[in-house]
Chains A and B, each alone.
Chain A
Amino acid sequence: MHHIANASLTDKVMSSGDSNPAATPTPCVDIQGDGRWMSLHNHFVSNSKDKEPDVLFVGDSLVQLLHQFEVWRELFSPLHALNFGVGGDETQHVLWRLSNGELAHISPKVVVLWVGTHNHSHTAEQICGGIMAIVQLIKDKLPKAYTLVLGVLPRGKMPNPLRERNAQVNKLVKDAVSSLPHASLLNVDPGFVHSDGSISHQDLYDFLHLTPQGYQAVCQPLHAHLKGLLEKQAEN
């Protein structure tokens, strides 16, 4: 009981925004000079005006790249899915986008959230707080939607601190959503880390981003899980 009380207190602090930069809505500042982040955000907002998706994928480059490969057309187009992934996005960027129009014109039944691996200046606790802030925001804006948080994947060719951080994020998020009826965490790692601790470039071509083969391994179970969720939502 004591542990649970502490966890929810930590969640409150970590997702309050005041003390957690990962949970404070923050747009990306254009330092390169072509304003692409804001262009993409505006594109998503206007693109959503005439669409009626049942599923919304939102997150970082792992979401964005998914949209480019055959697997999207095979598995997720048939589910009437929209893709609002932006490469490099951290939790606070996704939080800003969803707070500033990307949820304004749609009512998906399920939101698939995949973000956190790029939060390089934040601790696992802060990243969890950022993810939970997004979960709460989705609940506020789309009261009937279910949020499926995807576990952050391992990265790097060999064992390294980021793998530990990502695993810790997943553990913390799993605990945090366990009491929520409208959200859950799905581990989509099919076993990318081999027995010698290595990750293959055949699965993650730069030891971070998925190859089409890597996406197939991740998306087949994800697709099955999504279909189950959509059927359940339909029953309600």
Chain B
Amino acid sequence: MGDTRLISNPQRMSGDEINPAAVAQAVEDVQGDDRWMSQHTRFVQECKDAEPEVLFIGDSMVQLMQQYEIWRELFSPLHALNFGIGGDTTCNVLWRLQNGELDNIRPKVTVVWVGTNNHEHSAEQVAGGILAIAQLLTSRLPKTKVVVLGLLARGDGPNPLREKNAAVNGFLRSWLPRLGQAQFLDVGAGFVHSDGTISTRDMFDFLHLTAAGYRAIAKPLSDLLLQILDETPEEKRASLV
């Protein structure tokens, strides 16, 4: 499925063209308050002080999770850091990881959730970008396990972005297992009803999750994290309450 050469080198598409979704890129401050860089700087600083067992990195789907109770209930106890930034594409996450957000930390698990904002890229390019992130993580943190969350459906009814996100997930399902330390987790089951609609009870703007929406995805995710943390040999692991 897709170009198998991408698995070894996701930076290149078929025909050896560069995959734009796998090119690291900072967000330019066009609005005038430099918030993206301020958030990045804060995360780099956090790396100096924290000793996370779990690192979450991605876009607003990651960022918003920390604002709900579910984060405190299920993920804070796992000593998790949240490096989500709203609007981020795979390019932005790659840049952040290459520019300090992995310094001085050795998480046992990294959760990657990004791709839904890559509007200028094809599904294959987006999957290649996510793969590039997973490869970067396993090369910088040889002992980390990478969990890539599938992109959720979006929009009130069927639309091209749903198809695109599903296609990204399809590529990831077949590519990620070949990376050894990476796995794919689909948390999107149940959001699209039989009539094709998504409820605002789950996604308040047909994209971002409500508290109830996060609750639905957090359980399978936290179960998987606990399982991975349990399997990981003791180095210096804080006790789980």
Contact = CB atoms under 8 A, between A and B. Distances in A.
Q: Which of A35, A39, A70, A208 has the most CB of B within 10 A?
A: A39
B35 A34 contact: no
B121 interface: no
A158 B119 CA distance: 30
B155 A206 contact: no
A158 B63 CA distance: 21
Contact of A160 (B34, B66, B159, B205): B34
Contacts of B32: 120, 156, 160-162
A155 interface: yes
Interface string A127-144: 000000000000000000
A212 interface: yes
Contact of B160 (A31, A33, A209): A33
A163 to B, nearest CB: 7
A64 B119 contact: no
Interface of B: 30-35, 38-39, 42, 63, 66-69, 85-86, 119, 154-157, 159-162, 164, 200, 204-208, 210-211
Q: How large is the interface on A (under 10, 10 to 19, 20 to 34, 35 or more residues)?
A: 20 to 34
A34 B205 CA distance: 11
Contacts of A205: 63, 66-67
A211 interface: yes
A120 B31 contact: yes
Contacts of A87: 205, 208
A195 interface: no
A67 interface: yes
B33 A155 contact: yes
A43 interface: yes
A70 to B, nearest CB: 8
Contacts of A157: 33-35, 38
Contacts of A158: 34, 38
Nearest to B30: A120
A32 to B, nearest CB: 6
A46 B34 CA distance: 38
A39 B206 contact: yes
A234 to B, nearest CB: 31
Interface string A185-222: 00000000000000001000111110110000000000
B159 A34 contact: yes
B33 A40 contact: no
Contacts of B42: 201
Nearest to A214: B67
Contacts of A169: none
A9 B110 CA distance: 58
Given A34-B155, A35-B156, A36-B156, A43 B200 contact: yes
A34 B63 contact: no
19 contacts: A32-B119, A33-B159, A33-B160, A34-B159, A36-B154, A39-B156, A67-B204, A87-B205, A120-B30, A155-B33, A155-B35, A156-B35, A156-B38, A157-B33, A205-B63, A205-B66, A205-B67, A206-B35, A207-B35
A86 interface: yes
Given A157-B35, A160-B33, 6 more contacts: A39-B206, A68-B211, A120-B32, A155-B35, A201-B42, A207-B39
A33 B67 contact: no
A34 B162 contact: yes
B41 to A, nearest CB: 8
Nearest to B39: A206
A87 B42 CA distance: 24
A33 B161 contact: yes
A43 B204 CA distance: 11
A211 B206 CA distance: 21
A207 B33 contact: yes
Contact of A64 (B35, B69, B204): B204
Nearest to A70: B69
Contacts of B86: 206, 209
Q: Which of A64, A69, A207 has the most CB of B within 10 A?
A: A207
A35 B197 CA distance: 13
Interface in A30-87: 31-36, 39-40, 43, 64, 67-70, 86-87
A32 B34 contact: no
A162 B157 CA distance: 36
Nearest to A37: B205
Nearest to B87: A206
